[in-house]
Homo-oligomer: A and B are copies of this chain.
Amino acid sequence: MTLSKNIAVIGGGSWATAIVKMLSENLETIHWYMRSEYAIEHIKRNDHNPNYLSSVEFKNNQLHLSSDINEIVSAADICIFAIPSAFVYSELESLEVSLENKIIFSAIKGIVPETGLIVGEHFHDHYNIPFENIGVITGPCHAEEVALERLSYLTIACADEEKAQHLATCLNSDYINCKISDDIIGTEYAAMLKNIYAIAAGIAHGLGYGDNFQSVLMSNAIREMKRFIKKVHKMKRNINDSAYLGDLLVTGYSVFSRNRLFGNMLGKGYTVRSAQLEMSMIAEGYYATKSAYKINEDKGARTPILNAVYSILYDNKNPKKVFKKLADKLD
């Protein structure tokens, strides 16, 4: 079976822009939906996204741009969703075109807040898409480094390996190295959990803990991630593969991570609300923490770091006291 190269990217942020750049190395046309008419006009006139990764130059004859999500989804056989998980639900409400015969890849890290589901499950449950037509694109990958064409590795997960391999081929280039995986559930949960651990790393930093503690926190986090994912979806996986550990590290050690920044502000004494106002956005890990905590109420994995972050974000506990207790549970 030859799979289609009619690919749409849904989203106008930095990660969506990076994915369009990767695809533009291989495809003649990329269908690209973004909400902002202004950004679309800017790209058409100036060959770059005015808001994100603006150093990346596109060739306009490669792009089919529209602010009409139905037009873009109709044009494509494969849709890559790269919008913040908090907007997935509302963006999809305007979708009239059926997704049932499409292949869906999620490049979204997190939980759909309205349903408490990871994105793959959301598509499966709410749009009747079979799991073999749902895939995940995961890092470790900062979009900014894709813009700079710095060598980066992606993991493309799909229950149907042929589809994963197909998308990998469309994304691979001199600076992109895609690996495939059949662990769609595990990689998606890892991508979600890492944002929670990045908040934890930020809180620790804000509280004045040093690099020694951070390394212990991260080595506990990967063990916690392993326990959590095993409870949710047991299969043979090496948690030290790049899609799990690498993704955790690139986020946990990045000073650019919004989740880490959010945690850092909490550690420095901001309230949750004031940190969110100051950042003028809500970090993905904020929702992920609640969802993961709720999921784990059923699953019962030992998750001291998740519990600590949850109690700070949702129970107004004092970060200093919570981390003092957490520190005793780490090893």
The answer to whether B151 touches A212, judged by C-beta atoms less than 8 angstroms apart, is yes
- Known interface pairs A218-B246, A249-B218. Does A145 touch B212 (Cβ–Cβ under 8 Å)? yes
For the complex formed by this chain, how many copies does it contain in all? Answer: 2
Most chain B C-beta atoms within 10 Å of own C-beta, residue among A140, A212, A238, A330: A212
A150 to chain B, nearest CB (A): 4
Question: Is A51 close to B, CB under 8 A?
Answer: no
Q: Report the bound CA distance from A290 to B39 in whole Å.
A: 55
Interface residues of A in 204-248 (CB under 8 A from B): 208-216, 218-220, 222-223, 226, 238-242, 244-247
Which of B152, B215, B246 makes the CB contact (< 8 A) with A250? B215
| A212 in contact with B142 (CB, 8 Å) | yes
A177 at interface by CB-CB < 8 Å: yes
CB of B150 within 8 A of CB of A216, answer: no
Kindly list 8 other residue pairs between chains A and B, CB separation below 8 angstroms, not including A142-B210, A218-B246, A219-B246.
A140-B216, A145-B211, A151-B212, A153-B213, A153-B330, A211-B254, A220-B242, A249-B253
Q: Which residues of B contact A242 (CB under 8 A)?
A: 215-216, 219-220, 330-331
Asked if A3 lies at the interface with its beta carbon under 8 angstroms from chain B, I say no
- A208: B residues at CB distance < 8 A: 150
Is there contact, CB below 8 Å, between A249 and B145? Answer: no
Known contacts A246-B218, A249-B215; A331/B241 CB under 8 A: yes
The 7 closest A-B pairs by CB, nearest first: A215-B250, A150-B210, A152-B212, A219-B246, A140-B215, A215-B249, A219-B245
With a cutoff of 8 Å between Cβ atoms, the chain B residues found around residue A218 in the complex are: 245-246, 249
A11 at the interface (CB under 8 A from B): no
B212 near A240: Cβ-Cβ < 8 Å: no
- Tell whether, in the assembled complex, residue B153 and residue A212 are in contact, meaning their CB atoms are under 8 Å apart: yes
Residues of B within 8 A of A150 (CB): 208-210, 212-213
Cβ-defined contact, A253 with B250, below 8 A: no
Q: Contacts A153-B331, A219-B240: A141 and B249 contacting too (C-beta < 8 A)? A: no
Known contacts: A210-B148, A211-B253, A250-B211. The answer to whether A327 contacts B216 by CB under 8 A is no
CA distance A209 to B152 in the complex (A): 9
CA distance A214 to B246 in the complex (A): 8
Within 8 A of B (CB), among A178-225: 179, 208-216, 218-220, 222-223
Quick one: given A222-B240, A331-B179, A331-B241, are A153 and B211 in contact (CB under 8 Å)?
no
A263 close to chain B: CB less than 8 A: no
- State whether B327 touches A215 (Cβ < 8 A): no
Smallest CB-CB separation from A222: which chain B residue?
Answer: B240
